[in-house]
Amino acid sequence: MQTTFLLNGESITADTSPTMTLLDWLRDERGLRGTKEGCNEGDCGACTVMVTDDTGAKTLNACILFVPQLEGKVVRTVEGIAAPDGALHPAQQALIDHHGSQCGFCTPGFVVSMATAHLNKQKDHDDQLAGNLCRCTGYAPIIKAARAIEQTPPPGHLTADLVLAQQMSKDAAAKDQSAFRPKSTTELAKWYDDHPDATLIAGATDVGLWVTKEFRDLGPVAFLNGIEDMKGVTMSRETIRIGAMTTLADLQAALAPLYPAFGELIRRYGSVQVRNAATIGGNIANGSPIGDGSPALIALGAHLNLRKGTTRSLVPVEEFFIEYGRQDREPGQFIEAITIPRAGNHLYCYKLSKRFDQDISSVCGCLWIKVASGQVIEARLAYGGMAGTPKRAYQAEAAIVGKAWGEDTVRAGMEALDDDFTPLTDMRASSDYRMKTAKNMLIRAFAESHGQTVTVLDIDA
């Protein structure tokens, strides 16, 4: 399969298998070994590359990025961050000046992440570098290096990539594409109806691991990143429509002003690199019981817009998950969009994990609790990590709806959770811990609703 893109200023046409990762291709086919393989699952950031298209420059994990996803894009590896004349990028020089590297294995990934954040004028360094792991130096000198270049203008060869990417994207759109890269939802619907056993690849943050960790043969595949009509967030007075191919980064930007708790939950979903690639449709479609997007969408009363051929249907998110590993989806049917009714902000989201950043949830609770005149008039309580699927707590909802919003009602809801869930014990948490913390999330919501700031980042010694 041929893929044309720009690599470190050079036009490339790569002829690869559909599931060749960019990391393997760079190292094995191009000899560009600055991009490192660490975890090979998108966690450590050693493989970070800069990918620029008509939406701007982003960091992505090369280890779970398939080469065909780069059609019409501009790619910079660590070898292309310095200027063509060899002058170091300000990030590279700052890491030297501030002693930000020891063993050096992680350094290329940090350089690319810092250079991309610098190009984008992003100064939230803790967040921008949360997806890059360093075990030697510690983050203090690395953060100092990032701060030191905040006022330095970006190099010309990287700003030029932004212009080149605009033209590359236009050329890619005009290019005759194979069935592997549908350009519209209608094209995808027809092809997938004819190939119902195929694998759909959105951001590849999950599917990539099927290849790198499980060595699966995916069979026929379709890359969905060229389908523009499945991207973006459209708002009306009554609803919010989210294209299934909307990345979590774009979703966070769109929804955080409306639902700050949801925005903060997304911020803790993976790293910047992962959020730049992962899509909300893929997050739901993989059916993970600990996927953080689904509890929030269930609590918001969202519906999935499903499509098979020319037939469309609407399904509540909570009804899509039947049991572990099984969703209510026919062969050849896919998620086209998600629709959220607009009903104000009554949402509380809480994620518990062993690490604050970039970790899988032990329990994720998203609670929609609407209170009027001191009484709970509506509640949708959704949890991940408490069952084989993301699930609503119907008994707890019944225990609090119609009651005065006070401590007695909260306690009743907490007790009713015992009738909703029988959580498992596994490597992430015990059954008792999961149940106790799920109950405590109701207390946190009650405290927040009365103006108390509740955050695990506030520590009193």
Let me know: does 307 contact 244? Beta carbons within 8 Å: no
pLDDT of residue 287: 83
Q: Cα–Cα distance between 103 and 385 in angstroms, integer? A: 37
The answer to whether residue 90 scores a pLDDT higher than 50 is: yes
Per DSSP, the residues of 85-130 read T-PPPHHHHHHHHTT--SS-SSHHHHHHHHHHHHHTT---HHHHTT
**Terminal CA-CA length for the chain:** 58
358 — pLDDT class (breaks 50, 70, 90)? confident
179 falls in which pLDDT band (50, 70, 90)?
very low
Predicted confidence at residue 33, as pLDDT, reads 96
Q: Is 40 exposed, middle or buried (0-12, 13-18, 19+ CB in 10 A)?
A: buried
175 pLDDT exceeds 90?
no
CA-nearest of 264, 216, 238 to 251 is 264
**Residue 460 pLDDT exceeds 70:** no
Annotate 118-183 with three-state secondary structure: HHCCCCCHHHHCCCCCCCCCCHHHHHHHHHHCCCCCCCHHHHHHHHHHHHHHHHHHHCCCCCCCCC
Query: Mean pLDDT over residues 439-459, rounded?
Result: 86
R_g of the chain, CA atoms, integer Å: 23
b or e along 136-175 (b: 16 or more beta carbons within 10 Å of the residue's beta carbon)?
ebebebbbbbbebbeeeebbebbeebbeebeebbeebeee
Are the C-beta atoms of 13 and 3 separated by less than 8 Å?
yes
Q: What is the pLDDT of residue 138?
A: 87
Task: Report pLDDT digits (tens) over 236-289.
Answer: 999 999 999 999 999 999 999 999 999 999 999 889 999 999 999 999 998 888
- With a cut of 60, say whether residue 459 has pLDDT above it: no
Q: Is the pLDDT of residue 122 over 50?
A: yes
How much is the mean pLDDT over the chain? 94
Q: What is the mean pLDDT of residues 94-112?
A: 96
Residue 174 banded pLDDT, cuts 50, 70, 90: low
Is the CB of residue 420 less than 8 Å from the CB of residue 396?
Answer: yes
* pLDDT value of residue 177: 46
Q: Which residues contact 272 (CB under 8 A, 6 or more apart)?
A: 59, 113, 127, 128, 130, 131, 249
Measure the CA–CA gap between 246 and 339, rounded to whole angstroms: 13
Q: Give which of 282, 250, 440, 461 is closest to 362, Cα–Cα.
A: 440
Q: 192, 198 in Cβ contact below 8 A? A: yes
Kindly report which listed range (23-37, 282-296, 330-344, 359-373) carries the lowest average pLDDT score: 282-296
- Closest listed residue to residue 304, CA positions, set 267, 270, 268, 330: 330
Q: Compute CA 383 distance to the chain's CA centroid, rounded to the nearest angstrom.
A: 18
CA distances from 133 to 106, 161, 189 (A): 7, 27, 40
Confidence of residue 458 (pLDDT cuts 50, 70, 90): low
Does the pLDDT of residue 426 top 80, yes or no?
A: yes
